[in-house]
Amino acid sequence: MMVELHDPVVALMRQVGRDIVMPRYQNLAAEEISEKAANDFVTIADKESEIRLAEGLTSILPEAGVIGEEACAADPSILDRAGDGLNWIIDPIDGTGNFASGKPPFGIMIALADNGATLAGWILDPLTGRLCHATLGGGSHVDGERIMAKESSGDLPIAAISTIFMEAAERAEMERKSQAIFTMVDIPRCAAEQYPRLVLGQNDVSIFARVLPWDHAAGTLFVNEAGGCCQRLDGSAYRVGEQRRGLMGASSPRLWDLAAKTYYA
């Protein structure tokens, strides 16, 4: 089934990126941007993108439900069924804060999950056209080429840690523990960019405090199928629908273990 779904899903994502997302990039009026919560933005492009994606994905696979970020913002009860049955998971524009500010990175993320297990994931960068794709048991690909995760080449492994949703004390402790073990770098504030960086040798470790399915279903599968390691902080597998905090990804199992010992031992 995954092979048959791939081409129509990619065609839909590229169409939405071309027709809805990119025409609004650096072209948003003030009234077309709003805050759902502190530092959590939504634009007219997010809403229009999700509507088009939901319609298209339902046409491609009618038996699957749809869990979209903006639909859940309007009706949080939708999220309660994210781990039940077959569902499309939609992030219509990941990195909306960047998009609304007129700067990269941002992306479109789609995943297909069955009873909490992610079967396939797609991550499109509408600016560059880069497509990251993974299927459960079928490996990870970038622009159609099979890829294996690689560690960065610096003196110390590179850690890009999302501290936005951490308390101040937790954030300070994380920075203290990183000293002499990791080189800390800024996060891109975009999971659609952060997950590819773990595979492409740009970053080695990422820790996410808030874990919502549209941000992580596709990326977690992409890292794991590329030979990296992305799982819960206790070492358990990530599953769509689990509403608990904490997730860590690494470019290799070795570096996942090093980060776990550094930050959580």
Domain boundaries, given as residue ranges, for the chain? 2-147, 158-264
Single-letter code of the amino acid located at 20: I
63 annotated as ligand-binding? no
Cα-Cα-Cα-Cα dihedral sign, residues 175, 94, 80, 62: negative
67 annotated as ligand-binding? no
From first to last of its 265 residues, what are the pLDDT tens digits of the chain? 678 999 999 999 999 999 999 999 999 999 999 988 777 899 999 999 999 999 999 999 999 999 999 999 999 999 999 999 999 999 999 999 999 999 999 999 999 999 999 999 999 999 999 999 999 999 999 999 999 999 999 899 999 987 776 788 888 888 889 888 999 898 999 999 999 999 999 999 999 988 999 999 999 999 999 999 999 999 999 999 998 899 999 999 999 999 999 998 8
Q: Please name which of 72, 10, 41, 93 lies closest in space to residue 212, comparing C-alpha atoms.
A: 72
**Contact at 8 Å (CB) between 240 and 205?**
no
114 annotated as ligand-binding? no
Structure tokens at 99: 């998009």
**Contact at 8 Å (CB) between 208 and 159?**
no
Q: Give Cα 177 to chain centroid, integer Å.
A: 25
Cα-Cα-Cα-Cα dihedral sign, residues 211, 217, 222, 223: positive
How many CA within 13 A on the CB side of residue 15? 13
The pLDDT score that the predictor gives to residue 40 is: 83
Fold of 2-147: Fructose-1,6-Bisphosphatase; Chain A, domain 1 (3.30.540)
| CATH code linked to domain 158-264 | 3.40.190.80
93 annotated as ligand-binding? yes
91 annotated as ligand-binding? yes
